[in-house]
Structure 1
Amino acid sequence: MTDTDRATDARGTGQYADVNGINLYFQTHGAGRPLILLHGGLGSGEMFGPALPALAEHHQVITVDLQGHGRTADIDRPIDLWFMADDIAALIDHLGLDKPDVVGYSLGGGVALRIAARYPAKVGRLVAASIFLRRDAVYPEILAQQGQVNAAAAEFMKDTPMYELYQRVAPRPEDFPRLLDKIGEAMAQDFDLTEEVRGLQVPTLIVAADADMAPPSHFVEVFNLLDGGLRDGGWMNEGRPKGGHALAILPGVTHYNIVSSPLFATATLAFLDQ
């Protein structure tokens, strides 16, 4: 969830929406069928680099700063991905969007998956990048690093892109240690999304780096739950997953730079626009 990718200077039309008890910041880019784009942990809508303008050439892209991130101030509740999913569902209603596609990465991918699981009637297609079924799917050394994320780490993060971005755009820059505490607490929580994934009712693309926080086999396991990778696809696609699901393992990238790779936008658009 703590994603170290560089922010982009892409600019859109920014505004706030009071929904579900939080004042959510979002930007709108481009035109076309709506696409909600959700960033990773400690990031903001700017973290998608060149993928954002590429997506906005084909869609109306709405980037949202999640609770306590970017230009959205924190509120008095934990960082909980189900709460954040409720926020985005309320934003969809607030904006009057008709089944937008939802694309999320890492923390945002977990939120996107939960939106599709809880509010399937509100979502067109889902792209979930670098997401995990269970906490223990992540490599043990990464879990150990996540265990060190707390307010005390703020001093050591002052040279990172995440800290620089937060100081530049956050309504209360002094809240960064509090965000680290909350993110650390969120990452320490155990979870299992097996049944939620198995029950997904919207066409879903699972995206991962070939050198992600979990092994490629984990993302194949997610695809298996979606009726994928169980048989030959067939000459007429008759053996593909019944729900229209797909899997993309992107070569030569990691958890930390996957969304700035041109392959991310290419794979996402190929799935959304097929």
Structure 2
Amino acid sequence: MTATDWTTQAQGVGQYAQVNGINLYYETQGSGQPLILLHGGLGSGEMFGPVLPALAARRQVIAVDLQGHGRTADIDRPLDVWAMADDIAALIDHLGLDKPDLVGYSLGGGVALRAAVRYPAKVGRLVAASAHIRSDAIYPEMRAQQGQVSGAAAEFMKDTPMYQLYQRVAPRPEDFPRLLDKIGELMANGFDLTEEVRSLRVPTLIVAGDADMAPPSHYVEVFNLLDGGLRDGGWMGEGRPKGGHALAILPGLTHYNIFSSPLFAAATLAFVDEQQG
């Protein structure tokens, strides 16, 4: 992975929205039906630089920097995925958007998923990429690595794209160790969204790389919870999931490059542009 995967030459041409006591940064590109784009942990909206032109060619893309990430300064609040979902719902209201689609990767996928669970009336379609729904779904060695994330690791991350992007765009670059501490605490918390996913009322596309942080079988399990993969789809699609849900396992991709892949952009656009029956 190179730094170019994580950054663009955009000079922060976005705006801030005061919501839930946080000054949330977002950038808007393109025109059409709104699509809110949510980045992964330790990243920012700029992670999507390679796929943004394709998305913005068809949609008005609103790329948000989540709490403590990118150009959104941290506040005195734990990094909680449900709270960040509340921020996105508040942003939808703040911008006066009519059921935008939510597209999130990794942490952003978890935020988008929770926003769709808690605020189904505010969301059009949902794309959750590389977002596992149980903390024990990821490979044990990854769980162990996540348990070691803390501010003490900041010194060892200075050559990483995450650190370099943060130093370039963050309002307080010195906050990086604090962000690592909060991310570490977040990842140490166990969670299981099985019942929440089962009750999802928003048409949802589950996306993962074929060599992601959790095995492909986990994403199939999520699809099963959404009434998918349980029977033949039928000549006319009559056997497809009743809620309009779908699954995409993308070939040749990992957790660390899926967000910048043209396959991710293509699968996302094919799903959000699908006419609802």
Shift of 1:12: 7.1
Amino acid at match of 1:139: Y
Match of 2:170 in 1: 170
Q: Counterpart in 2 of 1:65?
A: 65
* 1:8 CA drift (Å): 2.7
Question: Who is 1:231 aligned against?
Answer: 231
Contact 2:6–2:165, Cα closer than 8 Å, also in 1: no
Preserved contact between residue 5 and residue 50 of structure 2 (Cα < 8 Å): no
Cα distance change of structure 1 residues 125 and 215 upon mapping to structure 2, 3 Å threshold? same
Provide, for residues 40-91 of structure 1, a one-character-per-residue CA deviation record: whole Å limited to 9, x for no partner. 0000000013211110000000000000000000000110000000000000
Letter matched to residue 212 of structure 2:
D
Amino acid at match of 1:184: G
How far 1:39 sits from its partner (Å)? 0.1
In the alignment, the residues of structure 2 paired with residue 130 and residue 269 of structure 1 have an alpha-carbon distance, to the nearest angstrom, of 17
After TM superposition, the score normalised by the length of structure 2 is 0.96
Query: Match for residue 97 of structure 2?
Result: 97
Give the drift of 1:6.
2.3
Which secondary structure state, in structure 2, belongs to the residue aligned with residue 61 of structure 1? strand
Corresponding residue SS for 2:63: strand
Task: Give the Cα–Cα distance (whole angstroms) in 2 for the partners of residues 69 and 20 of structure 1.
Answer: 16
- Write the letter of the residue equivalent to 1:56: A
Distance (Å, rounded) in 1 between the aligned partners of 2:222 and 2:5: 25
Give distance in 1, aligned partners of 2:5 and 2:111.
19
Matched letter for residue 115 of structure 1: A
The answer for the alignment partner of 2:180 in structure 1 is 180
Q: Distance in 1 between matches of 2:66 and 2:5?
A: 17
Residues 75-224 of structure 1: matches in 2 within 5 Å? 75-224=75-224
1:5 Cα deviation from its structure 2 partner: 4.7
CA–CA separation in structure 2 for the residues paired with 1:241 and 1:193 = 19
SS of the equivalent of 2:192 reads: coil
SS of 1:237's equivalent in the other structure is coil
| Aligned counterparts of 1:194 and 1:10: Cα–Cα separation in 2 | 38
Q: How many correspondences in the alignment? A: 271
Q: Deviations over 1:85-127 (max 9, x none)?
A: 0000000000000000000000000000000000000000000
- 2:62 corresponds to which letter in structure 1? I
Q: 1:23 aligns to what SS in structure 2?
A: strand
Quick one: distance in 1 between partners of 2:232 and 2:50? 35
1:224 Cα shift? Answer: 0.1
Cα distance in 1 between the residues matched to 2:251 and 2:49: 18
CA–CA distance in structure 1, aligned partners of residues 6 and 116 of structure 2: 28
Sort the Cα spacing of 1:170 and 1:243 in 2 relative to 1 into closer, same or farther, 3 A.
Answer: same
Helix, strand or coil for the counterpart of 1:250?
Answer: strand
Distance in 1 between residues matched to 2:55 and 2:9, nearest whole Å: 15
Counterpart of 2:246? 246
Query: How far apart in 2 are the matches of 1:240 and 1:142?
Result: 33
Unaligned runs of 5+ in 2: none
Residues of 2 paired with 1:11 and 1:227: CA distance? Answer: 43
Instruction: Supply the RMSD in Å over aligned alpha carbons.
Output: 1.1
Counterpart residue number, 1:41: 41
User: What is the CA deviation profile of residues 212-242 of structure 1, one whole-angstrom value per residue up to 9, with x for unaligned ones?
Assistant: 0000000000000000000000000000000
8 Å contact 1:51–1:261 — kept in the other structure?
yes
Q: 1:77, 1:12 → 2: CA distance?
A: 25
Distance 2:39 2:5 in 1: 10
Q: What is the percentage of aligned positions where both structures have the same residue?
A: 83
